[in-house]
Structure 1
Amino acid sequence: MKALIISDSHGLEDELNEVIDRHKNEVDIFIHCGDSELTKDHFALQGVNVVKGNCDYGDDFLEEWVETIDDTTIYVTHGHLYNVKMTHVPLSYRAEEKGAQIACFGHSHVAGAFEENSVIYINPGSIRMPRNRKEKTYCICARTSTETTVTYYEQNGKVVEDLTSRF
C-alpha cells in the first residue's frame, strides 16, 4: 500500500494539483487531511479522499474517514476535534476505536510521524504555511508486510531526508 498524504493547503490549487500529478502513477491512494478550503468538486481534489478541516466550510467533506487497503486500516481526520496541537491522546483513542494501523491528521502544520501502541501517526505538515520548519511538506507512506516508511517531500518534490521515518 502506498498513500500520498497532504494537508493544510489553504486554498492552493495549482500547487496541490502539481503534487498530485507528480505522484499519480506511483501511489494507490491520495489523502488530504483537511483545510483545503476548496469544494469537493474542485479540479485539484479529483480522486482525492478529503476530510473537513476547521477552515473548510459547508458540508462537502466528512469529519473523519476510514479505509482498509491491503489489510491496512487508515484513519483520517483533520485533528482540530481532537486537540492535536496540545496532545495526541484523544486522537490515539479514536484511532484505536477505529482499529487503525495508520492515523493521518493535520491542523498543527507540523510535519512528523511517530508510532504509539502499534499505530503509526502521520502529520504531513502544510504545503502553504509550515510550522517549526521552513519546508512546505507532504509525504508518501509506503507499507509492506514488514515495514512502513514515511517519506517527506518539499512542495517541489525534493525529499526531506531528516523527516523520513521507518517503522
Structure 2
Amino acid sequence: MRILAVSDTHGDDLILQELLVQYPDLDGYFYAGDSELQASNPLFQTYHAVLGNMDFDRDFPKTCTETIQGTTIFMTHGHLYGVGFGRNELTEAARAVGARIAIYGHTHVAMAEQHAGVVCINPGSISQPRGELRGLGGTYALIDVDGKAVTVQFASRKGIVPELTQQFN
C-alpha cells in the first residue's frame, strides 16, 4: 500500500492538483487540514481531508479514519490533540480506532516517529514550512506499508529527499 499525505497548504490548491498528476495511482490521498478551501472543492473527492484551525468551512470532519489494504489510518489536523506538546493524545486517539498510522498537521514541521506501536507522521507544510527542513521550501510525505514495515519518505516540490527516509517495524 502506498499513500500520500500533505497538509497546511493555506490556499495553494495548485500544489494539490500537481501532486495528483505526479502520483496518479496511489492507494490513498490524505490532507491533514488548513487548506483554507471549501469542503466542496473537487480536490476533496480524491483527498481525504480534515478540518484545520484555519479552515472556516465546518463541513470538513475533525478526524478521518480509513482502512486501506488492511492498514488503518487515523488523521486529524493536530490542534485538537495538543501535538505541539507531544503525541500522547494523538497516539491514544489512533489506538482507540485500531490505527497503525496517525497523520496530522498544524505545526508545519515534517517528522515521523513511532509511539506505542503507532507511526505518527506530520508531512510538514508544502506552502509554509517551519523547523529544520524549511530550507527545502515545503514538504509532503509518501507512506509505504509492506507487511509490518512502514516506510516514510519526505519530498519537496523538487521530489523525494532520500536522506529523510525512515522505516518503522
What interval of TM-score do these two structures reach, taking the shorter chain for normalisation?
over 0.9
* Cα shift readout 1:26-82 (whole Å, capped 9, x = no counterpart): x11100000011112224433110000000012221000101111111000000001
Match of 1:85, SS state, is helix
Identity %: 38
Q: Structure 2 CA distance, aligned partners of 1:16 and 1:68?
A: 22
Question: TM-score normalised to the size of structure 2?
Answer: 0.93
Q: Which residue of 2 aligns with 1:93?
A: 92
- Paired residue type of 1:164: T
Question: TM-score normalised to the size of structure 1?
Answer: 0.94
Q: CA deviation at 1:23?
A: 0.4
- Paired residue type of 2:151: T
Q: CA deviation at 1:155?
A: 2.0
* Cα shift readout 1:63-108 (whole Å, capped 9, x = no counterpart): 0010111111100000000111121111111111111100000100
- Within the candidate set 138, 146, 151, 2:140 is matched to 138
Q: Structure 1 CA distance, aligned partners of 2:72 and 2:42?
A: 27
Q: Structure 2 CA distance, aligned partners of 1:20 and 1:6?
A: 11
Query: Gaps spanning 5+ residues in structure 2: where?
Result: none
Q: Which residue of 2 aligns with 1:40?
A: 39
Q: Is the 8 A contact 1:115 1:121 kept in 2?
A: yes
Q: Structure 2 CA distance, aligned partners of 1:43 and 1:70?
A: 25
- Within the candidate set 145, 149, 152, 1:150 is matched to 152
Q: Structure 2 CA distance, aligned partners of 1:153 and 1:45?
A: 21
Q: Which residue of 2 aligns with 1:21?
A: 21
Q: Which residue of 2 aligns with 1:159?
A: 160
